[in-house]
């Protein structure tokens, strides 16, 4: 098995009952990432314990934690990732 270059974790804002009702899920964020052609695996996660700054997206192994994710922010973040960079203004942890 070939390991992907990046692993992106997307907070799916799961509700207590486990229904995937979160913003990222509704907006097809996983598909947005996969359409890029970046060598990346995408996983949706349950709560990442920073709900107040969600929806959250984490890029590993760079350990970049982004908050307030929207479709346009995902585009910007992926643009930066393709250049090997981050979007500082959306980072929620340093």
Return the number of the residue (40 or 47) whose C-beta is nearest ligand FES. Answer: 47
What's the closest the beta carbon of residue 22 comes to ligand FES, in angstroms?
7
Per-residue tokens: 17 = 């009952």
Return the number of the residue (63 or 84) whose C-beta is nearest ligand FES. Answer: 63
Q: Are strands 57-60 and 40-45 parallel, antiparallel or unpaired?
A: unpaired
DSSP states of 59-84: EETTTEEE-S--HHHHHHHHHHHHTT
What's the closest the beta carbon of residue 82 comes to ligand FES, in angstroms?
25
Site string for ligand FES, 22-61 (x = CB under 6 A): -------------------------xxxxx--x-x-----
Per-residue tokens: 5 = 């270059």
Q: Which of 63, 64, 59 is nearest to 33 (CA)?
A: 59
Return the number of the residue (8 or 56) whose C-beta is nearest ligand FES. Answer: 56
Kindly tell me the burial class for residue 22, based on how many C-beta atoms sit within 10 Å of its own C-beta (0-12, 13-18, 19 or more).
buried
Total of residues contacting ligand FES (CB under 6 A): 9
* Interface with ligand FES (CB under 6 A): 11, 13, 47-51, 54, 56
């Amino acid at each position: 098995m070939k390991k992907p270059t990046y692993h992106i974790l997307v907070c799916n804002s799961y509700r207590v009952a486990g229904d995937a009702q979160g913003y990222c899920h509704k907006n097809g964020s996983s598909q947005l990432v996969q359409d890029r052609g970046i060598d990346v695996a995408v996983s949706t996660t349950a709560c990442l314990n920073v709900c107040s700054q969600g929806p959250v997206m984490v890029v590993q192994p760079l350990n970049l934690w982004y908050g307030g994710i929207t479709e346009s922010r995902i585009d910007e973040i992926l643009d930066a990732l393709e250049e090997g960079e981050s979007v500082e203004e959306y980072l929620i942890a340093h």
